[in-house]
Chains A and B, each alone.
Chain A
Amino acid sequence: MIRVKNLFGKISLKLIWVVSATVILTIGVYSYFNIKSQSEVLYTEVERHANQLSESVKNSTRYVMLLNQHDHIQEMINGIGNDPSINNVRILNKEGEIIYSARKSDIGNMLDKHAESCYACHAENRPLEKLSIKDRTRIFRMNPDSSRILGVINPIYNEKSCYEADCHAHPSEAKVLGVLDVTISFAEIDEQIRKNEIRELVFAIISISAIAFIIGFFVKRWVDNPVQELVKATDQVAAGNLNYKIRDLSRDELGVLGKSFNNMTKKLDETSQQLYQSTKLASLGQLAAGVAHEINNPLTGILTYSSYLLKRTKDNPQMQEDLGVIVRETMRSREIVKGLLDFARQSTPKKNMIDVNEVINRAVTVISSQLKINNVSLVKDLDPSLPKITADANQIQQVCMNLFVNAIDAIGQTRGTLSVKTSHMNLSPKGMIHIKNAVCGKTHTLIDADHKINGSPSLKVKIKTNGTEGFVHLDPIYGSHKHYFGITFDRNSTLSLSCPVCDISLIDKINRCPICGGPVYKIQIPNQGFLEGCASFKDDWQQWEFVDRSGERKFVEIEVADSGCGIPPENLNKIFEPFFSTKGQRGTGLGLSVIWGIIDNHNGTINVKSEPGKGTKFTIRLPQGDTGKMTG
């Protein structure tokens, strides 16, 4: 039932009604006139035939009449009357007596002058001698049930040869000698017309059904199905499934509707995600306030009493060291709680000159017992010549602690290794500097937070080639070329790059790529000059003079590697997203996103390499000096 209901949903039913009515009207009018003209043609034909026949009979009996051979005439009349289409052939004399007839029983009967066969001539009780052919025909029925009959009266005029004939049957003064009356039945023609009518009716019914079926089918296909899909999608969205997408969009208005519906759900999804995140953050803020209040009171006790003990045990160096750890770590807890409160307030790091090795050692001290419990062996390879860097020691320690704890979790009960390595290096800005802002000539931003490359928002650029159009997402790390091409194209064809918002060209009209000689794109980095690169993507040439000018920079690198379970490739892109967690109830999903935020705040980079089952390696690079003004 539902299928039938679907098939003849309201729109299709209405359409079928309207179209059927139109078809019925059209076919009805057409059939009426068609049948009418057909009948007219047929009647005229029959009339002509009857006249012809009448003339033929008159002519062929003429000679025999002159010879006055009665039997011969009757024979001929009988022969003609045998034709099934001919109803009767009679010859009447002037007085109305039937002299010859194809029906033998009629012979000798007298016809009243008022009888239908006589009426044409004797209508006003006076004999007429000349009649046109039209007036000599008549259509009548023998009785109401019988088929119609066409009668043709053919008067037999007196001629010289008649009254001079040997028989002397007719006097010379008579004008009309008698009448030849041929009647032809319409039964066959009426039958044919009836058949035609039935055929037209059947044709009308078939066309209406066919049209109804075709309309039904296409309405179902073009209207019903998409509408059903829309209704389904609306229900899904109403039920809270904002990821539902309408697929198989057509190119018509409903397709456009579907597309804008998808767009709406996408926007709705984003907004609800933001709302969800902000409520999550807001509740996190409340949680932080609660935690801060609840934890700070006991911390007050720990801090006061431990620092009291520290003052009291000045003569006991062992105790001093142990109590020192308590005091220091309580102070760190204080900073963490403060950081938790600041998290909601997005605080800026408190940067000082710090020794990264020292920070790592402090972090290691704190987790050493956890390492022991989990049978994790620690391999430390700290570069003693590491330069001091400008950074927030607490935040960097938080980063290290977080990575260590993650590593211990990843190793689990498998007796793995955690290795920490520090080193320093001079790096070209290429591959290091993160482009955080980029605009077109009309200052539309090209940064696309929806498409991230290695966790950072990419630069979205429109690409046109050979009539096709799409988007390229440029790697936001200067000198790195993990671009994402939304379309496939021939690198040897003419490419044009433009702003996805205003379509203004990003191709430099003057400069050519120094490697391949091809066109060059030129993207403005606000306040920091221009980023140029090979626009045919045949080679990796890229230049950002503003950054290149300052030359190589000093970086401190921290590597934290574990031999744990690794991260599945599908999760690698997500681990730095806020609230992404694989730890279920144990994690907030904030750890790595906070780390990313801290490193980003320090203008550093964090990279992850992982092989499931073999382990994970995080590489953090922090600039030695504060290069805050150098990045976008």
Chain B
Amino acid sequence: MKEHFNILIVDDEEVVLSSITKVAHMEKYTVDSVMNASSALNKISSAEYDLIVCDIMLPGMNGFQFLSAVESKGIDTPVIMTTGYSTIENAVKSLYSGAIDFIPKPFTIDEMTSVLHRGMKYGAILRLKRLHDDSVLIVPCPAKYYRLGYSAWMNQDLDGSVLIGGTDFFIKTLEQIKRIELLNINEVLIQASPAVKFETCDELIHQLYASISGVIIARNERLFTKPELFEKDPYFEGWIYRIIPTELDYEMKLLIPCSSDRS
């Protein structure tokens, strides 16, 4: 992992820029900040960044347009979306459009820190992949699975219930898991809302978003005693919840089929 880590922050509010900068500085990252998307595009053409944190509601070009502009330029710098208008729709759309994460405003230092950490790890893995093209660093999710962004997967069983878990990629962006906190049976999951809390050895708390909405009918109790199951076999033994989906057809359209990863 490289020592120097450079982040570009895009937000039209001074106080948000300074807040994220403060968090980044606490983690010894270097920061560049701009107040609109077009200056951000200029910045990424001239300098190299490891991570971009971008607001959705920006004057002129908005966050989503920025995302597609970045993609069309062939830049694979991971982007984390943030917004004060923190609706589920915005979160889902961000992850579907290629952002690696979504963090609603206002956030605490800890929440931002863990998101930045994951982003940093994500970037590092990407770079490793570029260096060792042939080696399997990440176990891709099975072909018939669907995923929300790169982090949570879902797979519908024959009986109509849906299994939910975290991708290997997501797990690889975490340090060693110390503790897992799950919701209770009968509680309701909402797509792109926090579903699982992971406490890692670096004292950070990471949240995994639900890939799909529904009522929890079972949870993988073995994860409490053997959190390593999650790390070792994330797609089968390491499942997290079994749910009865509430709006499967609609929400599936916002997920990425894992079969597309294998082309």
Residues of A whose CB lies within 8 Å of any CB of B are: 289, 292-305, 307-308, 311, 327, 330-331, 334, 338, 341, 348, 350-351, 626
Q: At the interface, yes or no: B155 with Cβ under 8 Å from chain A?
A: no
Which of B18, B86, B106 is the one whose CB lies under 8 Å from A341? B86
Contacts of B109 in A (CB 8 A): 304, 307-308, 311
| A297 with B84, Cβ < 8 A, contacts A303-B106, A304-B23, A304-B109 known | yes
Q: Are B86 and A301 in contact (CB under 8 A)?
A: no
**Bound form: Cα–Cα A304–B187 in Å:** 30
- B250 CB to closest chain A CB (Å) equals 15
Contact check, B108 vs A303: say whether CB atoms are below 8 A apart.
yes
Assuming the A-B contacts A292-B85, A341-B86, are A301 and B16 also in contact, with contact meaning beta carbons closer than 8 angstroms in the complex?
yes
Q: Which residues of B contact A294 (CB under 8 A)?
A: 84
Interface residues of B in 80-110 (CB under 8 A from A): 83-87, 104-110
Q: Are A292 and B84 in contact (CB under 8 A)?
A: yes
Cβ-defined contact, A304 with B107, below 8 A:
yes
Given the interface contacts A300-B16, A301-B16, does A327 sit within 8 Å of B86 by beta carbon? no
Interface members, chain B 45-73 (any A CB < 8 Å): 57
Which residue of the partner chain, among A301, A341, A626, contacts B19 with CB atoms under 8 Å? Answer: A301
Sort A-B residue pairs by CB-CB distance and give the 9 closest, nearest first: A296-B84, A301-B15, A304-B19, A299-B106, A300-B106, A293-B84, A296-B105, A303-B106, A297-B13
Residue B255 at the chain A interface, CB threshold 8 Å? no
**A303 contact from B18, B84, B86, B107, Cβ within 8 A:** B107
A302: chain B residues within 8 A (beta carbon): 106
Contact B18 A301 (CB under 8 A): yes
20 A-B residue pairs with Cβ-Cβ distance under 8 Å, sorted by A, are A293-B57, A293-B85, A296-B86, A298-B15, A299-B105, A300-B13, A300-B16, A300-B19, A300-B84, A300-B107, A301-B15, A303-B107, A304-B20, A304-B22, A304-B23, A304-B108, A304-B112, A307-B109, A311-B109, A351-B187
Q: Complex Cα distance A312/B19, Å?
A: 15
Whether B258 is near chain A, meaning CB under 8 Å from some CB there, is no
Task: Indicate if the CB atoms of B84 and A295 lie closer than 8 Å.
Answer: yes
Given contacts A298-B15, A348-B188, contact A341 B87 (CB under 8 A): yes
Interchain CB contact under 8 A, A297 and B108? no
Q: Which residues of A contact B105 (CB under 8 A)?
A: 296-297, 299-300
Q: Which of B13, B20, B86, B110 contacts A292 (CB 8 A)?
A: B86
For B108, the closest partner residue in chain A by CB is A307
Interface residues in B15-30 by Cβ distance below 8 A to A read: 15-16, 18-20, 22-23, 26
> In the complex, which of the residues B15, B87, B110, B188 contacts A300, with contact meaning CB atoms closer than 8 Å?
B15
Bound: A618/B86 CA distance, A? 34
Contact of A334 among B18, B106, B187 (CB under 8 A): B106
Min Cβ gap B247→A in Å is 13
B110 cross-chain contacts in A, Cβ below 8 A:
307
What does the 1/0 interface line of B188-212 toward A look like (CB < 8 Å)? 1000000000000000000000000
Q: Is the CB of A289 within 8 A of B106?
A: no
What B residues does A295 contact at CB under 8 A?
84
Q: How far is the CB of A286 from chain B (nearest CB, A)?
A: 11
Find chain A residues with CB under 8 A from B187 CB: 350-351
Using Cβ atoms and an 8 Å threshold, which residues of chain B touch A626? 186
List chain B residues, Cβ under 8 A from A351: 187
Please give the distance in Å from A107's CB to the nearest CB on chain B: 133
Tell me the bound Cα distance from A292 to B86 in angstroms.
Answer: 8
Q: How far is the CA of A308 from the CA of B110 in the complex (A)?
A: 10
CB distance from A169 to the nearest CB of B (A): 141
Q: In the complex, A303 Cα to B105 Cα: how many Å?
A: 10
Cβ contact within 8 Å between B18 and A327:
no
Other A-B pairs, 11, CB within 8 Å; known A301-B106, A303-B107, A308-B26: A293-B84, A296-B84, A296-B85, A297-B106, A300-B19, A300-B106, A303-B19, A304-B22, A304-B107, A304-B112, A626-B186
Q: How far is the CA of A296 from the CA of B85 in the complex (A)?
A: 8
Most interface-central of A299, A330, A626 (chain B CB within 10 A)? A299
What size tier do the contact residues of chain B reach?
20 to 34
In this complex, what residue of B is CB-closest to A353?
A: B184
Closest to A626 in B: B186
A562 shortest CB reach to chain B, Å: 33
Q: Count chain A CB atoms within 10 A of each CB in B57, B109, B188 and give the residue with the most.
A: B109
Distance in angstroms from B35 CB to nearest chain A CB is 13
| A305 contacts across to B, CB distance below 8 A | 19, 22
Complexed CA–CA distance, A351 and B104 (Å): 21
Q: For the complex, give the distance between the alpha carbons of A374 and B108 in Å.
A: 33
The answer for the CA separation of A502 and B214 in the assembled complex, in Å, is: 38
Query: What CA separation (Å) do A532 and B16 show in the bound complex?
Result: 62
Residue on A with the closest CB to B84?
Answer: A296
Tell me the bound Cα distance from A348 to B104 in angstroms: 19
Interface residues of B in 94-141 (CB under 8 A from A): 104-110, 112
| A297 vs B56: C-alpha distance when bound (angstroms) | 12
Q: Which residues of A contact B86 (CB under 8 A)?
A: 292, 296, 338, 341
* A395 nearest CB across to chain B (Å): 15
Q: Considering only CB atoms, which chain B residue lies closest to A311 in the complex?
A: B109
A154 vs B75: C-alpha distance when bound (angstroms):
147
Min distance, Cβ B16 to any Cβ of chain A, angstroms:
5
Name the distance in Å between B193's Cβ and chain A's nearest Cβ: 10
B83, B85, B188 — most chain A CB neighbours (10 Å): B85
CA distance A302 to B105 in the complex (A): 11
A112 to chain B, nearest CB (A): 126
For B26, what are the chain A residues with a Cβ–Cβ distance below 8 Å? 308
Question: In angstroms, how far is the closest chain A Cβ from the Cβ of B192?
Answer: 13
Q: Which residues of the other chain, A, contact B106 by a CB distance below 8 angstroms?
A: 296-297, 299-304, 330, 334
Residues of A within 8 A of B188 (CB): 348
The answer for the CA separation of A351 and B112 in the assembled complex, in Å, is 26
Complex-state Cα separation, A247 to B83, whole angstroms = 57
Q: Which residue of B lies closest to A347 (CB)?
A: B190
Q: Output the least CB separation between B99 and chain A (Å).
A: 18
Q: How far is the CA of A304 from the CA of B103 in the complex (A)?
A: 14
Closest chain B CB from A313 CB (angstroms): 14
Q: For B23, what are the chain A residues with a Cβ–Cβ distance below 8 Å?
A: 304
Chain B CB within 10 A, most for which of A292, A304, A327: A304
CA distance A298 to B22 in the complex (A): 15
The closest CB in chain B to the CB of A302 belongs to B106
Chain A residues whose CB sits within 8 angstroms of the CB of B112 once the complex forms: 304
Q: In chain B, what residue has the closest Cβ to A299?
A: B106
A330 to chain B: closest residue by CB = B106
Q: Which B-chain residue is minimally distant from A350 (CB atoms)?
A: B187
Q: Which residues of A contact B87 (CB under 8 A)?
A: 341
Cα–Cα distance between A298 and B84 once the two chains are bound (Å)? 10
Which single residue of chain A is at the shortest CB-CB distance from B20? A304
Bound state CA distance, A253 and B25, in angstroms? 83
**Complex: A327 Cα to B188 Cα, angstroms:** 27
Whole-angstrom distance between the Cβ of A4 and the nearest chain B Cβ: 67
Question: How far does the Cβ of B180 sit from chain A's closest Cβ, in whole Å?
Answer: 17
The chain A residue with its CB closest to the CB of B188 is A348
CA distance A604 to B84 in the complex (A): 33
Distance, CA A412 to CA B165, complexed state (A): 54
Q: Which residue of B lies closest to A300 (CB)?
A: B106
Whole-angstrom CA separation of A5 from B66 in the bound complex: 74
CA distance A341 to B87 in the complex (A): 8
